[in-house]
């Protein structure tokens, strides 16, 4: 979430300008929307395939200890790879699949744990994630919602605030105190999670605009991988927040 004018540093318009500056000569192969969509689909398949590994591993014997290392190590390693991609964009074609595989391992294990506690929650979270993705894409293409500068500013500010709140919560847990709302299933906690889901979803609109502008600027071909990676960062965040929101709601039943 801290990786996320998207506030997702992987998806900022300035990046395309810099990439083009680094390649001012006649670029034979340039970024296209279709190319980015295809690469996003491929990265999504990698996430799913990796997730099935830890999902099946847990389903076989319901051994939490067996998958915990994958959840923790996968998340931390994925974060490290993401930082490298952000600061060395030309490596995106090689590292983006690795990032997605690591995230998949972590997500698969976490999803399995949530599914055991709340049967049916995973398919609900997946359907909601893709439903939001395609609904917002349709609304964006129809021009009903536009990523204006004011819109980007609001989403960037909200995303930064959420990221900071999460970071403080993580560090606070090491010192014995937890911030409210993130984990509790109170009405306030559920409303907080709903707010985070909305902000994560609206980041998709900013991401669509970013990708569209990249294609218009005829960025280098490797930027398709970079843009696809950035979109996957947002989608994974959205899925996890929906999973958290559903978990809180179901725990009150």
Structural domain span for residue 224:
31-251
Q: What is the pLDDT of residue 26?
A: 42
| Share of residues in the chain with pLDDT > 70 (%) | 88
Helix locations, 88-186, DSSP H: 92-117, 121-141, 149-174
Residue 119 has what DSSP assignment?
A: T
Tell whether the torsion through CA atoms of 192, 197, 201 and 203 is positive or negative: positive
Domain assignment present for residue 1? The answer is no
User: Alpha carbon of 228 to those of 24, 35, 101, 223, 236: distances in Å?
Assistant: 23, 9, 14, 8, 12
SS3 call for 55:
helix
Domain assignment present for residue 13? The answer is no
Six-digit token string for 228:
């696809």
Environment class of 13 (CB within 10 Å of its CB; exposed 0-12, middle 13-18, buried 19+):
middle
CA-to-CA distance for 32 and 40, rounded, in angstroms? 12
Q: What is the pLDDT of residue 4?
A: 35
Q: How many domains does the chain have?
A: 1
Domain assignment present for residue 41? The answer is yes
Domain assignment present for residue 11? The answer is no
Is the pLDDT assigned to residue 25 strictly greater than 70? no
Six-digit token string for 184:
């509790």
Task: Tally Cβ neighbours within 10 Å of residue 173.
Answer: 12
SS3 call for 220:
strand
Environment class of 193 (CB within 10 Å of its CB; exposed 0-12, middle 13-18, buried 19+):
buried
Q: What is the pLDDT of residue 190?
A: 93
Domain assignment present for residue 170? The answer is yes
| Mean pLDDT score, 38-56 | 95
Domain assignment present for residue 3? The answer is no
User: Alpha carbon of 22 to those of 55, 91, 213, 229: distances in Å?
Assistant: 42, 15, 17, 20
Is the pLDDT assigned to residue 56 strictly greater than 70? yes
SS3 call for 63:
coil
Six-digit token string for 29:
């192969």
- Per-residue pLDDT reduced to its tens digit, 177-217: 777 788 888 898 899 999 999 999 999 999 999 899 989 98
Residue 30 has what DSSP assignment?
A: B
Six-digit token string for 72:
């923790």
- Per-residue pLDDT reduced to its tens digit, 67-97: 888 998 999 999 999 999 999 999 999 999 9
Any idea which residue has 């389903």 for tokens? 59
Give one word for 30, left, alpha or beta, with left for phi > 0 and alpha for psi -120 to 50. Answer: beta
Domain assignment present for residue 193? The answer is yes
- Per-residue pLDDT reduced to its tens digit, 92-151: 999 999 999 999 999 999 999 999 899 999 999 999 999 999 999 999 999 898 888 999
Domain assignment present for residue 78? The answer is yes
């Amino acid at each position: 979430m801290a990786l996320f004018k998207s506030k997702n540093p992987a998806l900022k318009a300035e990046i395309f300008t810099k990439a083009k500056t680094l390649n001012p000569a006649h670029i034979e192969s340039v970024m296209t929307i279709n190319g980015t969509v295809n690469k996003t689909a491929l990265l999504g398949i990698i996430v799913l395939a990796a997730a099935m590994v830890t999902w099946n591993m847990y389903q076989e014997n319901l051994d939490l200890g067996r998958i915990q290392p994958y959840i923790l190590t996968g998340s931390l390693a994925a974060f490290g790879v993401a930082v490298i991609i952000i600061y060395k964009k030309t490596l995106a074609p090689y590292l983006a699949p690795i990032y997605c595989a690591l995230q998949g391992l972590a997500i698969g294990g976490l999803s399995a744990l949530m599914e055991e506690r709340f049967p049916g929650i995973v398919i609900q979270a997946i359907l909601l994630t893709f439903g939001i993705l395609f609904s917002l894409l349709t609304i964006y293409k129809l021009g009903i919602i536009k990523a204006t500068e004011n819109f980007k500013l609001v989403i960037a500010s909200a995303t930064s605030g959420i990221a900071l709140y999460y970071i403080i919560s993580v560090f606070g847990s090491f010192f014995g105190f937890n911030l409210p709302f993130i984990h509790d299933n109170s009405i306030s906690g559920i409303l907080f999670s709903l707010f985070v889901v909305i902000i994560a979803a609206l980041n998709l609109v900013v991401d669509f605009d970013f990708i569209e502008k990249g294609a218009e600027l005829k960025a280098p071909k490797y930027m398709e991988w970079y843009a696809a990676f950035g979109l996957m960062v947002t989608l994974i965040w959205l899925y996890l927040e929906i999973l958290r929101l559903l978990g809180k709601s179901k725990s009150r039943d």
